A = this chain, B = another copy of it.
Amino acid sequence: MSDMKHKFEDALMEFERALDYYLTPAHRKDDTVWRAARYSLLSGGKRVRPRLLFMTCRLFGKDPPQEAMAFAAAIEMIHTYSLIHDDLPAMDDDDFRRGQPSCHRQFGEATAILAGDLLLNRAFEIASASCVKSGRPEAVSALWWMATMAGGEGMILGQSLDLAMDGRCREGNMIQYTDSTNTSAKDGLTSIEQVREMVTLKTACLIRAAVGAGARLSGASKDEETSLDQFAASLGLLFQIRDDILDVVSDKELLGKTIGKDVRDLKKTYVTLLGKEQARLALAEAARDAEKALDALDEKGRATSELRSYIKVLETRVS
């Protein structure tokens, strides 16, 4: 078991080298926009989504599919671009990220916007290059899935709902709430169901992208895909609730970003809406749902212990 753990850590070191490689263009690597993209992408981070992609692949075989590294890198790039844009003054206006000044604090707003664009676009460059190389339709399907989860019916929609809830979504000089959020939001009240929907889109979709891409690349059956997607959706919810809790119980040094911001900015989160204790109960429930979704895979003879351990890791993480 410790041998296996060792091997997985090796795979992650290989992943860090691959990230560096994918963000080193043939020319102009010292151009500001590339330096900004590298600054944000290569500054640590927990690599939750790549880990999940690799773990999902390991359910189906010892050696990862040939496109796994490119897709893991692509999804981490999408995650990082979303953080860069989210930190901008017009959005969350955050000065710190991953323990260092946020991208726009270091490189200015214009470059940060472009560096985010670069990372989102680069994700599709390297994922499509791996599809061209392998010629496998499974990889094209994984690319489509990743794009869909990251887009305007997935993560970006979640971000838009988040803005609307905080009243930061302005049209002309009027604060506008989206037509589709219900009356209570228009009254300035947000229900926990709305927060759940927002979180499911904003955070869980990219977790689903990682797990679903791993499943598709590995040739999972439709049933297995469905179970894994349910697992990923619950795990994504868990991840965000834990984030909400850490915003009030952690400290800046440990978390690498500003603390207590949700309360200060009147953000709608599990903690600001339900309180810490109820949020902890919701966290435990999400963990149980994630576990339950894996049962179907056990029945198919897949060894889910690694994924089960990772639920615990994310549930109890302190940063």
Interface residues of A (CB under 8 A from B): 25-28, 30-34, 37, 81, 85, 88, 90-91, 106-111, 113-114, 116-118, 120-122, 124-125, 128-129, 131-132, 135, 137, 140-141, 143-144, 147-148, 150-153, 156-157, 159-161, 163-164, 168-172, 176, 178-180
Q: Would B137 and A121 count as touching, CB distance under 8 A?
A: no
Q: Would A169 and B120 count as touching, CB distance under 8 A?
A: no
Interface core residue of A85, A121, A178 (most chain B CB under 10 Å) = A121
Q: Would B32 and A152 count as touching, CB distance under 8 A?
A: no
Can you name 27 A-B residue pairings with CB atoms under 8 Å? A26-B153, A27-B180, A30-B180, A31-B157, A31-B178, A32-B160, A32-B164, A33-B156, A37-B152, A91-B113, A106-B171, A108-B168, A108-B170, A108-B171, A110-B169, A111-B160, A111-B163, A111-B170, A111-B171, A114-B163, A117-B120, A124-B147, A125-B144, A128-B147, A131-B144, A135-B137, A140-B140
Main secondary structure of the interface of A (DSSP, over half): helix
A96 to B53 CA separation, bound complex (whole angstroms): 43
Q: Would B128 and A144 count as touching, CB distance under 8 A?
A: yes
B-side contacts of A116, CB under 8 Å? 117
Q: Given A110-B169, A132-B141, A137-B132, are A153 and B28 also a contact pair (CB < 8 Å)?
A: yes
Q: How close is A217's CB to chain B, nearest CB, in angstroms? A: 14
